[in-house]
Structure 1
Amino acid sequence: MTASQQTPTRRGALVVVEGLDRAGKSSQCELLRDYLSEQGHNVKYIRFPDRTTPIGKLIDSYLRGSANQDDHSIHLLFSANRWELAKSIEQDIAAGITLIVDRYSYSGAVYSAAKANPTLSLDWAWQPEIGLPQPDICLFLSISAEEAAKRGGFGAERYENETMQTRVRGLFRTLFERQKNVCVVDAGKTLEEVSRDIQAAVAVCVAQLDTVGPLRTLGPLAN
């Protein structure tokens, strides 16, 4: 078989994991990465914000409470942090790598809108996300703000308080009513049960990639 006759590389899947703080996202991302690797997939795991970039370092200072930013400007920095990696995400997916992403545009929009700033609505917050790579599936780890607050480490960063988390949960619900490819997972189950639910949902997503076609981009919120 000549190079020109070789079967094209099957693209990877873009899998996003979202949820309240302490919902178990990082643990489940790691379990999913290990599972997909064992299944023979080429997998990468990334998280947002990426605190290693120049923009990410500004965000890190803000989240740790050592720096203050206007609500609009910090929101745009979060979005810019995602745009910094947009091209590499597209390249990895095209090369057949499945990407697992811990937090993405959905968190970016709802956490900013949850501040209840009258000039920073959910629709305003979504605008800078339009054009970014669209996930093939977004897994939302559903847990109450009260349950999340009981978990270890809660309260270490700026947004980790029950009032904020309750607003965030409501806005996630509103946002997901206007989005496709969202799978709600009960994160109140055991670690193993949640992992199995995630694996099953992602397996269906991966099996449908040939039907879905090329990676798409995020569009405006549906009305």
Structure 2
Amino acid sequence: MKSNMARGNLILIEGLDRSGKTTQTTRLVETLQRKGKEVELIKFPDRTTPIGRLINAYLVDKSFQLSDQSAHLLFSANRWELAEQIKQKLENGTNIILDRYVYSGIAYTAAKGLDFQWCKNCDIGLPKPDLIIFLNLINNETRSGFGDERYEIKSFQEKVKTQFELFFNEQNWHTIVVDHQTIEQVEDKVWKLVFPLVDHETTTPIDLFK
């Protein structure tokens, strides 16, 4: 892609389970659409792909046994399935909103005790977001409504949060504390971070994880 061509922005919303990611990504897409922006929402894992269907079986069926290494590689492979599609859409001017991505993959596996750097290595070369927003729920006791999937356990979510905190100084990373905030208040904070990015043409090449 030529550096003087405008492209779409890659915007990621991360967070623990029940922190409001799906609500905020959906609302952000709707806002961008109302403002006439080309936009697409991608959720990871994408359970519609061949690898995604295998991941879905692993998440919902706790009798489905995989080594932690195998599971991590599957989640990474799911992201790689869509890597070229993401690049092409960005180059064609579409803004892409991600609900979970590389950071979730690393945090969830490292929370099981696997080497942090090994977890990162699998995603080297994937498109890197222009903006990362982490929805941080500080008081775990206020989080409710967990489902029945493999990782939807409060004690494990605390371990995941500890791994996420290792990213807090990453470039383009912003944390929003969602405790005692309404959906609308969080939405407003998200938009204040997103607006400066989408209000101007992005001409820099797509960054990659290194």
Scaled by the length of structure 2, the TM-score of the pair is 0.92
Please list every run of 5 or more consecutive structure 1 residues that lacks an aligned counterpart in the other structure: 1-7
- Aligned equivalent of 1:144: 138
Alignment CA distance shift 1:147-1:215 (3 Å): farther
- Residue 214, structure 1, aligned to residue 205, structure 2: yes
CA RMSD, Structure 1 to Structure 2 (Å): 1.6
Whole-angstrom distance in 1 between the partners of 2:201 and 2:125:
20
Cα deviation per residue 1:59-118 (whole Å; 9 max; x = unaligned)? 1111112411100011001000000000000000011100001000000000001012xx
- Aligned equivalent of 1:3: none
Whole-angstrom distance in 1 between the partners of 2:142 and 2:159:
13
CA contact (8 A) 2:168 2:174 kept: no
- The within-5 A match list for 1:95-174 is 95-116=92-113, 120-144=114-138, 146-147=140-141, 149-150=143-144, 152=145, 154-174=146-166
Deviation at 1:206, TM superposition (A): 2.5
Structure 1 letter corresponding to 2:117: D
Scaled by the length of structure 1, the TM-score of the pair is 0.87
Q: Which contiguous aligned blocks of 4+ residues in structure 1 show a shift greater than 6 angstroms? A: none
Please list every run of 5 or more consecutive structure 2 residues that lacks an aligned counterpart in the other structure: none
**94-103 or 182-191, larger mean C-alpha shift:** 182-191
Deviation at 1:155, TM superposition (A): 3.5
How many residue pairs were aligned?
205
Whole-angstrom distance in 1 between the partners of 2:143 and 2:194:
28
CA contact (8 A) 1:17 1:100 kept: yes
Higher relative contact order (CA 8 A, sep 6+): 2
